[in-house]
Structure 1
């Protein structure tokens, strides 16, 4: 099931930062009446700590505080994770041009002056939250679009486009570091006979099961599983030598076999199996990542010629 942006949303959290307890209380009561959740900090140091813990949706920040003023606090927030994405509304008793300019220079998106005009504060907070939520929706939509263009819709592993992008990227990185990269190409044995026997609907289901089985076999975040094409799957293994790649290939082939997906028309096994070609290279500078694909493809061909349901290695 896909997750929507609305499902990810929690109640809006506002962080109030002011060294005066009475001001914090006024702000909290006024904003709680609007339905917002509130966190409070009496100084800049505590504000930075709470920001890291809570990731508030907006910060109301007093400009004039002892030890660390609001300008310095805002400047430090910008350097933190998510800091540039969190709107800061500066609250200041200063209304001179220099202070206003400084507030915007350190990253504040708006300001109000003391004494606070409550209807103005309410509207500005509402506007900034709406703008922030809109920005998050756009970012979520962009991430979802990026996911859709790199995921194979049937099997939900990465597609050929992402395979090519990632292999090119990791090939260059391994060339710089002069460490090995391995590639596994796996092909479901006699898949055409499977489709002819059980039909395309069960054929699609078989592809999905095999894809997820392979995906569940990898453990490192850097490893990538992709549908290479048709009934063929690939596993990119950066910084992996021949021994490591062969062990993983054995695990994958064994795991697919243990799913016990019936394949009565297969000449090699009563259940679905895969043949795998494994290749390992240390990329040379300015070389082409197609080298490792050609080797893995050749190894896969040899595995098929040797009777299928087996692994062949080339380097």
Structure 2
């Protein structure tokens, strides 16, 4: 590695766990010469503490140490947060097949034997760090793809797929806990007329504003706001009774009206409004989540039939 490499952030951090002071010093000098940051531990317990505290990019681990050997230490690393992705290069004087097999069994990424061949060590450290950084980038990219697969592209709230998955999970969880589950279905009043009057671009912006306002009124991390379809939105409220659900729904209705988005062709008001169906019940495991959807949809239908810009509650918490 060129010692003049300019890193995007800080240089990689190497944790050296080695009981022999001379070897530890030589390893430090070799790694610092390559431009790495280095921390040292004289035994396995100290190494574990440094691993947790410093979160190194790679560990150089002596296999044979008193009290806690490198194999045991490596097993502890694997059980820690992020430990199964941090590369561990085992340094050992043992070169028999059983020791090599054991090193990989406990989670070592690679190994090198003593006496250390320094050019080989430098190349292996470099390769492991590069591979780990690439792995982290791929993990991040996968997480972003998974997130995008569950987010509605227009409104940036959860999409229908995410809604269905979350409703099913919470339905059976609340059934096990004998706790109340609430659902709000929201429909933008006369949205087709809004699109016909103002155009689809304005309609898209209207939906974005409505989604943002709904999300701002749903405070808890366990609650979920989703675009249910078209101009319909849904809010899942775990561990929430009818009183709590009505409170949230009414706040949503008020906030949407307060946006004062002009809607000249609405027969309710001169602005965009919402109709909301609310239901609240204690799920039964022998029933399906479609039950709560059916009740909320029925409540929404009644809210629209009764004049819109209002909420109707249907449910049974007994």
CA–CA distance in structure 2, aligned partners of residues 153 and 9 of structure 1: 32
Report the CA distance between 1:258 and its aligned residue: 2.4
CA distance in 2, matches of 1:31, 1:188: 62
Aligned residue for 2:192, secondary structure, equals: helix
Q: Secondary structure at the match of 2:309?
A: coil
Root mean square deviation of aligned Cα: 2.0
Give aligned pairs, total.
308
Q: Could you tell me how far apart the structure 2 residues matched to 1:10 and 1:265 are? A: 59
Match of 1:71 in 2: 71
Residue 308 of structure 1 aligns to a residue whose secondary structure is coil
Does 1:231 pair with 2:231?
Answer: yes
How far apart in 1 are the matches of 2:45 and 2:274? 58
SS at 1:219 equivalent: coil
Alpha-carbon distance change, 142 to 242 in structure 1, aligned in 2, over 3 angstroms = same
Partners of 2:102 and 2:243 lie apart in 1 by: 59
The aligned counterpart of 2:96 is 96
Moved more, 186-195 or 233-242: 186-195
> What secondary structure is seen at the aligned counterpart in 2 of 1:269?
coil
The TM-score with structure 2 as length reference comes to 0.90
Secondary structure in structure 2 of the residue aligned to 1:275: strand
Change in 2 beyond 3 A, CA 1:243/1:9: farther
Correspondence for 1:312:
312
Residues 101, 262 of structure 1: CA spacing in aligned structure 2 closer, same or farther, 3 A cutoff?
same
Distance 1:242 1:139, change over 3 A: same
**TM-score scaled to structure 1, two decimals?**
0.91
For residue 259 of structure 1, what is the aligned residue in structure 2? 259
How far, CA to CA, are the matches of 2:11 and 2:130 in structure 1? 13
Look up the match of 1:285.
285
User: Counterpart in 2 of 1:24?
Assistant: 24
In structure 2, relative to structure 1, the CA distance for the partners of 1:55 and 1:218 (3 Å cut) is: farther
- Match for residue 3 of structure 1? none
**1:201 equivalent in alignment to 2:201:** yes
What corresponds to 1:220 in structure 2?
220
> Shift of residue 69 of structure 1?
1.9
* CA distance in structure 2 between the aligned counterparts of 1:82 and 1:272, rounded to whole angstroms: 48
Q: Which residue of 2 aligns with 1:141?
A: 141
Structure 1: how far apart are the matches of 2:19 and 2:106?
Answer: 20
CA–CA separation in structure 1 for the residues paired with 2:9 and 2:185: 40
Question: 5+ residue gaps in structure 2?
Answer: 1-7
Q: How does 1:8-19 map to 2 (within 5 A)?
A: 11-19=11-19
Partner of 1:110: 110
How far, CA to CA, are the matches of 1:138 and 1:250 in structure 2?
43
Tell me the CA shift for residue 313 of structure 1: 0.5
Gaps of 5+ in 1: 1-7
Question: Which is worse superposed, 29-38 or 80-89?
Answer: 29-38
Once residues 26 and 270 of structure 1 are traced to their aligned partners in structure 2, the CA distance between those partners, rounded to angstroms, is 78
Cα deviation code 1:222-259 (max 9, x no counterpart): 21111000111001112211111111112222222222
- Is residue 185 of structure 2 the alignment partner of residue 185 of structure 1? yes
More deviation, 215-224/28-37: 28-37
Instruction: Please identify runs of 4+ aligned residues in structure 1 that moved more than 6 A.
Output: none
